[in-house]
Homo-oligomer: A and B are copies of this chain.
Amino acid sequence: MAYTRMTAAEAAALINNNDNIAMSGFTPAGVAKAVTRELAKKAEAEHAAGREFKVGIFTGASTGQSTDGVLANAQAIKYRAPYTTNPDFRKRVNMGEIPYNDLHLSHMAQELRYGFYGEIDWAILEVCDIEECGNEYHVYLTAAGGISPTAARLAKHVILELNSFHNPNAKFIHDVYEPLDPPYRKAIPIEKVGDRIGVPYVVIPKDKLVGVVECNIPDEARAFKDSDPITEKIGFLTAEFLVSELAKGRIPKEFLPLQSGVGSTANAILGALGQDKQVPDFNIYTEVIQNSVIDMMITGRVKDASACSLTVSNDCLMQVYDNMDYFKDHLTLRQSEISNSPEIIRRLGVIAINTAIECDLYGNANSTHISGVKMMNGIGGSGDFERNAYLSIFTCPSTAKGGLISSIVPFVSHQDHSEHDVNIIVTEQGVADLRGKCPEERAKLIIEQCVHPDYKQLLWDYMKIAKGGHTRHNLPAAFAMHDSLARKGDMRLTDFAEYVK
């Protein structure tokens, strides 16, 4: 083909200080990895020579070490949105070094198109195949849908990483669809989990394609901790709750598509649901597919799955590529604004299950900040799903750090999801079904059902000093537990009397 081949270093050399880069991928899956590694080296060289060098990075979600990690360490990021999970990046964000804008993932592509973040200089996309088609290239994405078509359309220039680690078979699971913007947007015509509404490729006008970097780099999807007795108990209780809702007719007999967050709790919940024979074979409509979903697709327990990314181990990814005759009919990867679309999530009646860092007595949830200040990862898709779900479920272990921290507190130290968006809280202690409950009833239920025994009395004590209103609080003491953790190292040592005025 007529395109220019170049090395990753040659591509990186073209990128200037202050440029904005939009990238393929969603989670470390499907992120371009070659050019950014070289870009970090260029940044270090520029800094060593006394010159400024920073770029803005926009992606579908988080990335891996080869993007957020190396660029953060090279102090080469002037701006980052919408999500990250990288430890090196996190450290530097919490040092105040990187302006990080933690966004709902469904907002990223459309807000780039709306022009809220300025011009996009570069799109860097990881692809598994390239076809020439008149004045365009049709390029095929790898393990994620992300914001790639928007990145390609908005960017002044495009660099492709043709990564032979991925199999060109990946093209059979992509449904590439970019909505028009208001006032011309149409209904997104997905009415079943498996509906395909777009094309399998991203279009790149020939005059935008600067070069193709051929490479072979494994995906950097994370390995998740195995489940432990706590997460298994949460999984069991969540599954038991859903089964009882099914029995009561409050979940339709066909069941509903599931979204579950990323990590070992999500795996434990899926595992428990999978084993419960009262739950019919079900579908997944989510943002991230983990190994456990692929395993359950192979057995037929999960029928159809739709997501933005295949965030699986590399051997699991190869298993998908090698069994494309099966997966092409059951697995669809979409753009993040489609996988996380409020429109589709509410229409399909997705049951959303995400983990919280902490919840408060009234059902508000914190998904992002440790002690109100330290960014963990970001809100990700949790708001997209929970806000629009048929049932909004948050899970967390009742304690953290061996009991020093209660995950249920009087007042969340940062709030990402309001009481209006949270139906159910599950800890390993039990399930609090908050639907139809006023604040007073919610507080009682959460203490009784979800709080660890070590903290029950403390939270009843808070309710004793909390003054009403519709919602009861004692504001000067609302963060006493957080402050005790900070000053005494243990929330159990909280003395509310120190705070009450």
Contacts and interface: CB of A to CB of B under 8 A. Distances in A.
A40 B107 CA distance: 47
A470 B116 contact: no
Interface residues of A, number: 88
A420 B183 contact: no
Interface in A455-501: 467-473, 475-476, 478-480, 482-483, 486-487, 498-499, 501
Contacts of A441: 99
A372 B115 contact: no
A435 B475 contact: no
Interface stretch (A154-162, A185-193, A260-268): A185-193
B471 A375 contact: yes
Given A115-B249, A183-B256, A471 B369 contact: yes
A252 interface: yes
Interface string A371-403: 111110001000100011010000000000000
B387 A183 contact: no
A222 to B, nearest CB: 21
A476 B499 contact: yes
A383 B387 CA distance: 9
A100 B470 contact: yes
A438 interface: yes
Contact of A438 (B101, B254, B372, B471): B101
A331 B470 CA distance: 37
Nearest to A414: B471
Most buried by B among A81, A96, A472: A96
A415 B93 contact: no
A229 interface: no
A191 B182 contact: no
A94 interface: yes
A102 interface: yes
A417 B104 CA distance: 13
Nearest to A418: B416
A436 B256 contact: no
A226 B179 CA distance: 42
A415 B415 contact: yes
Interface stretch (A230-238, A289-297, A339-347): A339-347
Contacts of A118: 436
Contacts of A257: 183
A294 B78 CA distance: 48
Given A187-B188, A343-B343, A418-B416, A182 B348 contact: yes
7 A-B pairs with the lowest CB-CB distances in the bound complex, closest first: A182-B349, A373-B469, A375-B470, A475-B479, A343-B343, A187-B187, A99-B438
20 contacts: A81-B436, A102-B419, A102-B470, A116-B436, A182-B349, A183-B257, A342-B342, A342-B388, A369-B470, A369-B471, A372-B473, A372-B478, A373-B468, A374-B469, A375-B471, A383-B418, A413-B475, A414-B471, A416-B418, A479-B479
